[in-house]
Amino acid sequence: MNISTPFWTSRIPVHFHIRIHEDWVQVGKHIFVDVAMGDILEQLIDLAPTIPASRQGALTYRQIPMAGTWSDPTSSAGFYPRLQRMLKSGDILAIEAGSCELPLLGMRLPEGVRSQPRCFGAPLAGPVQLPWAWRSLSQVAKWSW
Amino acid sequence: MGMAIAEPSRQVVLVSGDGAHQETMGVIASMGFHDVKPVIFILNNGTYGCENTLWKSGRNLYNDIAPIRYSMLPEAFGCRDWLCRSVGTIGELDDAIKEMEQNPKQANYIEVMIPAAENIALPEEALDAYFKLLTPTDI
């Protein structure tokens, strides 16, 4: 779930970096092992400042406005609202890490839909529930509809 | 594919760009071989979109990628009874989604054409902040 480094935040000195890996964390030169990513994210969310009242409710489900008519050429504006509406409870949305990831970051999911960055094999080796993945992504999403 | 095998009772919906898909599309054959039933949307804009946002237009020709006819891949890879469509209009997209919903146990592969013009480079100042591309003028 690498959201910030694709934007090349290269001006942050390395000794300020906190790298959260699947089961270990590096803070500057210090390494902490046996720390689960899920636990870290849950704790960070709890420690984060309270969301201002003006933004409360921003994470509730809302639909992207429909765009495009029958004969219009397909486009991102026409695709994502339809993707959102076809998802149903129980579905897993797998996201490829590329430019199509950006609109998906801000897309609210219907209740019971899970979102997961693309990964091959890992879920097969050890299927896990990752409800925190979307919760965390939603809170850092820069794209808003 | 791992997700689909791990949790066969759930519908796995994959959204991928065509650039990334060219690196990983061989797994379609594995999906057919293992008889998983994903919903796959390939957004085809003919380029490595995330790269083009980072560089001036036309700078890196290798970001323009081969014009594969993606919707034919599942059949070529031996996937049986997949719903495969290439859609270029909203009407065709709506029809494809309707077909998918009517056959929930079927594997689906939908290529969605996206205008390359959607893909624009970030402002020059932003690119410089990321990559230090510009030669400083004050030294």
Interface size A-B, in CB pairs within 8 Å, comes to 126
Q: For the ranges A80-84, B79-83, B131-135, which has the lowest average pLDDT?
A: B131-135
A132 has a pLDDT exceeding 70: no
Highest mean pLDDT among A78-87, A96-105, A111-120: A78-87
A19 and A86 in a single domain? The answer is no
Q: Domain for residue B136, yes or no? A: no
The fraction of chain A above a pLDDT of 90, given in percent, is 28
Residue type, A67: A
Q: How many domains does chain A have?
A: 2
- Average pLDDT of chain A? 73
Our CA-based measurement puts residue A50 at a distance from the nearest CA of chain B, in whole angstroms, of: 30
Q: What is the mean pLDDT of residues B111-125?
A: 81
Instruction: Tell if the CB–CB gap between A70 and B112 is shorter than 8 Å.
Output: no
B120 has a pLDDT exceeding 50: yes
Report chain A residues whose CB lies below 8 A from the CB of B112: 74, 79
Residue B37 in contact with residue A128, Cβ under 8 Å? no
Q: What is the mean pLDDT of residues A117-132?
A: 42
Instruction: Tell if the CB–CB gap between A100 and B15 is shorter than 8 Å.
Output: yes
Residue A141 in contact with residue A109, Cβ under 8 Å? no
B1 has a pLDDT exceeding 90: no
The C-alpha angle with vertex B44 and arms to B39 and B45, in degrees rounded to 5, equals: 155
Report chain A residues whose CB lies below 8 A from the CB of B23: none
The residue to which tokens 């890196």 are assigned: B60
Q: Domain for residue B137, yes or no? A: no
The C-alpha angle with vertex B22 and arms to B7 and A7, in degrees rounded to 5, equals: 85
Whether the CB of A88 is below 8 Å from some CB of chain B: the reply is: yes
| Predicted local distance difference test score (pLDDT) of residue A126 | 39
CA closest to B4 among chain A residues: A124
- Average pLDDT of chain B? 87
In tens, the pLDDT along A15-53 reads 777 888 889 998 888 899 999 999 998 888 888 777 666
Instruction: Tell if the CB–CB gap between A127 and B97 is shorter than 8 Å.
Output: no
Q: Domain for residue B96, yes or no? A: yes
CA distance A64 to A78: 10
Reference A83, options B114, B25, B60; nearest CA is B114
DSSP notation for A117-128: E--SSHHHHS--
Our CA-based measurement puts residue A70 at a distance from the nearest CA of chain B, in whole angstroms, of: 4
Q: Domain for residue A131, yes or no? A: yes
CA distance B58 to B61: 6
B66 has a pLDDT exceeding 70: yes
Domain that includes residue A12, residue range: 1-37
Comparing CB atoms, the residue among B11, B48, B88 nearest residue A91 is B11
Our CA-based measurement puts residue A133 at a distance from the nearest CA of chain B, in whole angstroms, of: 15
In tens, the pLDDT along B11-62 reads 999 999 998 899 889 999 999 999 999 999 999 998 887 777 777 666 778 8
Residue B7 in contact with residue A127, Cβ under 8 Å? yes
| Predicted local distance difference test score (pLDDT) of residue B132 | 59
Q: Domain for residue B139, yes or no? A: no
Q: What is the mean pLDDT of residues A84-112?
A: 85
CA distance A69 to A66: 9
Domain that includes residue B74, residue range: 2-131
CA closest to B87 among chain A residues: A74
Whether the CB of A50 is below 8 Å from some CB of chain B: the reply is: no
Q: Domain for residue B87, yes or no? A: yes
Q: Domain for residue B21, yes or no? A: yes
Reference B54, options B133, B119, B121; nearest CA is B121
Helix or strand run (H / E) with residue A76? helix A76-86
| Predicted local distance difference test score (pLDDT) of residue B94 | 98
